[in-house]
Structures are given as structure tokens and as C-alpha cells.
Structure 1
Amino acid sequence: MNVRPRYFIETKDSLFFAVNTYYHPEDAVIAFLRYIPCVDGDRELNGTFYKKVDSNQAYDYIKKNHPNYLFDWNVENKKMMGVPLEDIKEIHSPIDRLKEIINDDSPNPFYEKVRLLANIFHNEANISYDNMGITGSTLARLEKVDSSDIDFIVFGLDNHKKARQLYGRLKDDKNSPLDRIKGNFWNKVYNKRIKDGSLSFDEFIWYESRKNNRGLIKGTLFDILSTMNSEDLSIEENVYYKQIASMKIKCKIIDDSQSFDTPSIYQVSNVEILEGPSINIEKIVSFTHTYAGEVINNEEVIASGVCEEVTHLENGKKTYNLIIGTTRESINEYVKLEKSPLYL
């Protein structure tokens, strides 16, 4: 079954889940609940109103209505959320949805911007339409023309890098429809992404501005998201995870090649334990897009999250990661420069 991160699962009772991993158990797809039918919802599809749910609302809804959607898999003492195969109505592909929009000639101003963005990446970065897609509310056909962002996906690590580099060149080109984020758009993005005091407003802008993975196209926010193709995958499937304790470390980034993926992965060295168990951390792994591409090779950083033990079942070897984003809101979980970039 071809299901990758940022694909959507629609269930037989009209729930929409976002896929968030490359590997799944044999009888289910690991995914997180995003949209539920609701009489007072703010978006509509085929006569049914929907609302978007946060982490707490998602878990509460599933516990009440589909407790079997929370199950044991490969993480000790943690229930995974996912959809049993027999309850899947449709798997929504971001690639197919983008092609549908490209071929849609209706005068929809939101779709016109999606098409324009895809054509720019295709024509100027030489990225195939087969390696581009659209996710989020647009994939579920629940977008709001006047306020939804464009959650644009580029498949393949090299393709994603090309897209970011192109945007970095075009964002200050007066002849390009692509623009930097500015004004009140920064408030919208900051309030959506930062739910605690991990980054100040000005720090957030500094980090986001150098990533080149988020911008404006004719007044609409867009993200350039990354999902790996099969040739990029180096993830070990036969592993077992155990969350140990909260942890805070200081370390050096030595490999950021997968820092924009889902999850974002940073290889680290020179680890100093600031809080938590005395364990050698090899990777920082972020499941929240907020900290994708946040830091780069050779930077000294501070990271706060949860220590995770990884057991490699083939040989029994244990390694350890620092996890960021154990909830969607990622409270007190972050990675950032050791010293504020505002004072460098």
C-alpha cells in the first residue's frame, strides 16, 4: 500500500486523518485525526460541515467514538493512533490531488495560486509534477478559499532542496509572484506554531527567514513541505521504542540532511546533558514541522524534549534519541541555537 507521510485517510464515517510515518502495522495505517464532522463546523464538503481538531480534541474524540483506533504497536507504554484497514474508505494522494487542481479550469482564485506555485517549481526548478503534491485541508477538499494556507509538498530530498533554493532566489525578485512573509502574516504563523515561550516572536522570524520553506504567493501563505521518495529512505523498520524521561541537552549538529523531512532528523555529537538521564544521545528527532530545518551543520544548539530508547530487534542494540513534538503543540519541546541569534 503506497501511503506516505502527509497522505490523508478518509474513514467510512467521514473522518479525515493525516498519515505521519513511512511504516505501519499490517492491519492499520498510523495517522492522526485532523477533521471531524460537526454541525457548527467552519468548512463544508458534500453538505457535511467539518471542524479541525487539536491534539486533545483528537484523543478525546477517538477515545469516545473509536477506542480501537488507539493501539499498541512499537512504542512501549504509548498508544498509537491509526485507522484499521477495514475502516478505510479512501486514501487521498497529495500527488493526485495536485494534478486534479492543475487540470481544474474553474475560476477558483485559491486553485489558481496552487497551480501557479506548482508551475514555478516545475518550470524553474525542473521538478516533475509527479514529485509534487498538496496536503492539509486542500487534500481533504475542506480548504477555505479566503483564508486557507497552501500546504505544498515536494517529494524527494534533492527536489525539496531545489524548491527551497529557488524560493530563496525569487522571494526578493520584484518580477516574481513569490514573496517573503511580512506584516501580520508573521503574527498568524507565530501564533499557529509557538504555543509556549520557547522562541520569542523576533527569534521565530529569524529562524523562519533563513529556512526558505515558507512564503507568500499573491497574498496567500504557502509551505514547502518534504516527504521522501523510496530512494531516500534509510529508516529501519524492525525497531521498538520506549520513552524514558524529559531531557534537555547541549550538542553540535553534524548531519542535517534529513532536517526538513517527517520526522526531522538531526545527527548530533559533543552531547552535554543539562537535564534528565545520563544517556548518550545520537539524534534529535522532531515530529513537529515548527522545528524542521531549524538548525544546520556545525551549529551549537540546545534541545529540550523526551529521551527515547530505540531497540534494534535484529541485533538487540540500543540507541537513544531526543524527541521533539510528543504532542502537536510541542510544549517545552524545541531545538534552537545555544545563544539567541538576535545577539550574535
Structure 2
Amino acid sequence: MASLARLRLRDRDAVITREGLIFRVFGYTHPPEGYICDLEYAPASLFQSNNPKAFRTDGKNIFFKFYEDEAWHFVQKNFPQHMVFHKPLGKKVLGVQTANIAEVRKPEQALKRLVEAQPRDELLKALQKVLEATVLASGLSLENFGVFGSLLHGFYHPKFSDIDLIVYGKGNLEKIRKTLQELYSDGGLGFSNEFVDDSPIRGK
């Protein structure tokens, strides 16, 4: 189990509860007793979904991803202890108390492992390409970046999973944003902005 002392967690860090639920830390403002999070995945022993996009496996274990408001209803009904009081809103929201954290997974550590490993599938090869065209081309250090989502947890799908990167530091974010704008403008490099509207995140 994670130390009960106050953990130094950042946005998009993952916390795993004693039941095996996988939460994602949301933002940087949290109550003293825990962290505001959203629930991303649950082992098949606790939750199953008919949504064909929800299935995940690391080859040994099966997980399902939550979509739309599934996580909210699931926690309220089955694990109400995974709610924390958010003072600015004056109500409870999804979150994990420090005492209930069994494991922490850090995006920057996962990215380091993936970069050091020999790319063995098309998603990891695409990740290398993205990093070379953005992070390295901007003259930034990989230490200021991380990967979250299914890549962080090791149960991504080589053909269908997203490459979810997080940037640490306002200055680094501005540099990457400028680099991406240049890549999007040059259509010949194979990069395009999927977030010109909200269609990619509908239902997530």
C-alpha cells in the first residue's frame, strides 16, 4: 500500500485502489485527505461493459474502461468511499482518499520505459515518431513529458489505442503548442489536429 503520508501527485498520475480500480488524478487542487480523480478502468471482476471499445487486456488480466457517466453511477452504487468533498463546489466528487491508495503509476516513468524499449508494434513506433517530431524537435527533454491512458497501464491496443501525452511546465507547453501548429500547417508531414471540434471526446 502507498505511504499514508501526503503524496506528491500530479495531473494525470494514476492511482490504484485496494480493490484494483484505476483512477486518474485530475488537476492540482485537492482536499487535504485525498485527490480529485476520474475513474478510468476496473478489473472484469468488478465491472463489465457491452461497449466494444471498453475491453482492455494486458494478456493476463481483463479490464473495462468507463464511458460517459458510467463511472459516476458505478462508484455511487458500489464504492461510495471513493468520493471526496470538493470545497469550492460544496459537494462530493469522484476521488480517492490517501489511505485508500494501494499503488501509484507515474506517466513520466512509463514514457521513459517505453522509449528505452525496442518498439515492437505499430503504436510504439508511432509514439517514437511523435516524440521525434515534437519533443525532440523542440529541443525539450523527455523528463518533462509523460504518457497516460492505456499506454501507462500496459493494456493498450496496437491498432486502436490513442497516444496520450502530458506536458509538464507552462513554458514547455507553449513550445510544444507552437511546434504542433507548425506540423498541422504542413500537411505533408502526416500530422493533423483531431480536436478542431469536440467529436473525438464525445462519450468519453
TM-score (norm 1): 0.50
SS in 2 for 1:139: helix
CA deviation string 1:259-310 (max 9, x = no partner): xxxxxxxxxxxxxxxxxxxxxxxxxxxxxxxxxxxxxxxxxxxxxxxxxxxx
Q: Which has the higher helix share?
A: 2
Q: Which has the higher contact order (CA 8 A, sep 6+)?
A: 2
Rg larger for: 1
Deviation at 1:190, TM superposition (A): 4.3
Corresponding letter in the other structure for 2:179:
L
Q: Cα 1:106–1:115, aligned 2, differ >3 Å: closer, same or farther?
A: closer
Q: Cα 1:173–1:37, aligned 2, differ >3 Å: closer, same or farther?
A: same
Partner of 2:70: 57
For 1:61-100, what aligned pairs fall within 5 Å after superposition? 61-100=74-113
SS in 2 for 1:146: coil
SS in 1 for 2:165: strand
Deviation at 1:47, TM superposition (A): 2.2
Rounded Cα–Cα distance in structure 2 between residues aligned with 1:60 and 1:124: 43
Contact between 1:6 and 1:20, CA under 8 Å: does it hold in 2?
A: yes
Partner of 1:262: none
What is the number of residues matched between the two proteins? 191
Contact between 2:15 and 2:24, CA under 8 Å: does it hold in 1?
A: yes
Rounded Cα–Cα distance in structure 1 between residues aligned with 2:161 and 2:182: 25
Rounded Cα–Cα distance in structure 2 between residues aligned with 1:88 and 1:64: 20
Corresponding letter in the other structure for 1:143:
Y
Deviation at 1:172, TM superposition (A): 4.3
Contact between 1:118 and 1:132, CA under 8 Å: does it hold in 2?
A: no
Rounded Cα–Cα distance in structure 1 between residues aligned with 2:192 and 2:73: 38
Find 2:192's aligned residue among 180, 187, 200: 180
Runs of 5+ unmatched residues, structure 1: 196-328, 330-344
Corresponding letter in the other structure for 2:199:
N
CA deviation string 1:76-105 (max 9, x = no partner): 542122112222122111111110100111
Contact between 2:135 and 2:176, CA under 8 Å: does it hold in 1?
A: no
Corresponding letter in the other structure for 1:24:
H
Rounded Cα–Cα distance in structure 2 between residues aligned with 1:76 and 1:179: 39
Rounded Cα–Cα distance in structure 2 between residues aligned with 1:56 and 1:180: 29
Corresponding letter in the other structure for 2:110:
R
Contact between 1:133 and 1:154, CA under 8 Å: does it hold in 2?
A: yes
Deviation at 1:137, TM superposition (A): 2.0
CA deviation string 1:228-271 (max 9, x = no partner): xxxxxxxxxxxxxxxxxxxxxxxxxxxxxxxxxxxxxxxxxxxx
Corresponding letter in the other structure for 1:26:
P
Corresponding letter in the other structure for 1:179:
F
RMSD (Å) for aligned C-alpha atoms: 2.5
1:9 and 2:15 correspond: yes
What's the % identity of the aligned pairs?
A: 24
Q: Cα 1:179–1:143, aligned 2, differ >3 Å: closer, same or farther?
A: same
Partner of 2:27: 21
TM-score (norm 2): 0.81
Q: Cα 1:80–1:174, aligned 2, differ >3 Å: closer, same or farther?
A: closer
Partner of 1:295: none
Q: Cα 1:190–1:112, aligned 2, differ >3 Å: closer, same or farther?
A: same
Q: Which has the higher strand share?
A: 1
